[in-house]
Amino acid sequence: MKSSTYLIYGFVFVSLLVTIYLYIVNKTDPQKVISQEEQSSTTNSTTDASTVYTLADISSHNTESSCWMAISGAVYDVTAYFPKHNPQIVQGCGRDATQMFNSERKHLRKGTAILPEYKIGVLGN
Ligand code: HEM
């Protein structure tokens, strides 16, 4: 084979590798996932409940039979989600669970996408 043929094959091969790499990076970039989810929650916010709850209101819903939690300024009633989650979720009931929620990697994509459907209001003073 001529050396120019090798060059062409080499170029095609490298381009293919770069394309695959960019595809994977794009798919798993957490920043991108967050911004997409932020966009969708902004779109939903007009239909979300805007009732204001205080931490005192939330604190009495601290069990499996009634579990409310504040995450990033919004209030969620996640009682119905309990059977689908592992038991650790109870730690977040009745409180501001923002840090707890954000510290689990699996929440980045899946958890954040599910949250809006459980929103009941916003956190006030
Ligand atoms: C603040 C209280 C919470 C704690 C401590 C917590 C903890 C965890 C932990 C430790 C995992 C990893 C479990 C595993 O790998 O088996 C997880 C996964 C997950 N959590 Fe939470 N969680 C909380 C709240 C929530 C809420 C409110 C939602 C959504 C309504 C949620 C949705 C999810 C989802 C979708 C996953 C991924 C499950 C999977 O990949 O199969 N979590 N959580």
86: helix, coil or strand?
coil
DSSP string, 5-56: HHHHHHHHHHHHHHHHHHHHHHHH-HHHHHHHHHHHHHHHTTTS---EE-HH
At 8, the pLDDT band (50, 70, 90 cuts) reads confident
Distance, in Å, from the CA atom of 62 to the CA atom of 4, rounded to the nearest integer, reads: 71
pLDDT, residue 26, reads 55
At 39, the pLDDT band (50, 70, 90 cuts) reads very low
Nearest CA to ligand 1 atom 14: 86
Report pTM: 0.68
Task: State the burial class of residue 29 (Cβ atoms within 10 Å of its Cβ: 0-12, 13-18, 19+).
Answer: exposed
Residue 67's CB is within 10 A of a number of other CB atoms, namely: 24
Question: Which of 85, 90, 110 is the pocket-test mutation for ligand 1 (most atoms within 8 Å of CB)?
Answer: 85
